[in-house]
Amino acid sequence: MRTGRALGALLIVFLFPVLLVLPAAVSARSVGISAGASMVYTYTIHTTYATPNGNHTQDQHNEFTLKILSVEPQATLGEVTYTETVTLLNDSSMTTTQAVENVTTIFDPYNNDTYLGNIGFNPFVYTDLSSGTADGLRVSFTVTGTPSGSLSGTQTVNATVARSPGEIDVNYTLFSAPDVPPSQAVLVYNSTTGLLTHGVTYTHFFEIEKDFIYNLVSYAPATSGTSGYPAYIVPLIAVAAVVVIAVVAIVRRPSARERRAERLRHKMGRSA
């Protein structure tokens, strides 16, 4: 028993660094996707502008596939690492295309730092968002590569979140400047996966209306064999399992006295 207690204490010491980094042990907001999931989105740019012969409209159709490499909701700003493969660009099929890897934030309408993800829209949201409003959020941005060089500015956002069975509805209005019409986003998320299922951003600049429309075409969740833990943790868990088996085997091994008694029983012809 004394040996078993010592080995148990040793096991706890060995496992302690692993337990510290398991996601289940960390208090964090919930997400509904994991590494290995993939999804296909269509992206349509609907443009309307006035001409002498009436309004002219034009649609540009695009389609792309996202594959999730990792999800880190415990980060200061929750992050999703993904690859993006464009299969349709401005109504033209892409016969040769290459997946591009990037990282974007998990969208939290109450956090102004999550509005500017690297992917260009907000496909991932926390599944445990509460209903409410957020007014006067300040979103700062920098645009590089313009004819005038880098341009920086700050926009103000008013947002609302509403929950209904199966959905999380996020609407926000973005105010760019006093003399510029505000832009409005109407986003619908699946409350289980946290994925954008349909979203439209309405804009109006220089007498031109542009609507940016996203639709989720398909979603393939991670397979059952995909671990939700970061890659570096999986070997530690495997080693920990081996140690558990070894400790159990040692603890269950008969004592020296029991082994001597067993040998005497065999010598005397009694195997009981």
Query: In the chain, what is the straight-line distance between the N-terminal and C-terminal CA atoms, in Å?
Result: 24
Q: Which is higher by pLDDT, 263 or 99?
A: 99
Q: Given pLDDT bands bounded at 50, 70 and 90, which one contains residue 91?
A: very high
Q: Residue 194: helix, strand or coil by DSSP?
A: coil
Q: Name the residue with higher pLDDT: 230 or 175.
A: 175
At 263, which helix (H) or strand (E)? Answer: helix 256-267
43: β partners: 62, 214
pLDDT for res 272: 46
Tokens of 38: 């993939």
H or E segment to which residue 177 belongs: none
* Confidence category of residue 25, pLDDT binned at 50, 70, 90: very low
Q: Which residue has the higher pLDDT, 83 or 233?
A: 83
The SS3 call for residue 4 is: helix
Q: Yes or no: say if 180 and 141 are a contact pair by the CB < 8 Å rule.
A: no
Please give the Cα distance from 180 to 135 (Å, whole number): 19
Q: 18: which residues sit within 8 A by CB, 6+ positions away?
A: 233, 236, 237, 240
195/218 Cα distance (integer angstroms): 11
- Per-chain mean pLDDT for the chain: 79
pLDDT given for residue 147 in this prediction: 64
pLDDT 10s digits, 177-224: 788 889 999 999 999 999 999 999 999 888 889 999 999 999 999 986
pLDDT for the residue 12: 36
Contacts of 226 (CB under 8 A, 6+ apart): 34, 35, 36
pLDDT of residue 225: 53
Angle, alpha carbons 157-162-168 (nearest 5°): 100
| pLDDT at site 269 | 59
Q: What are phi and psi of 239, to 5 degrees?
A: -65, -40
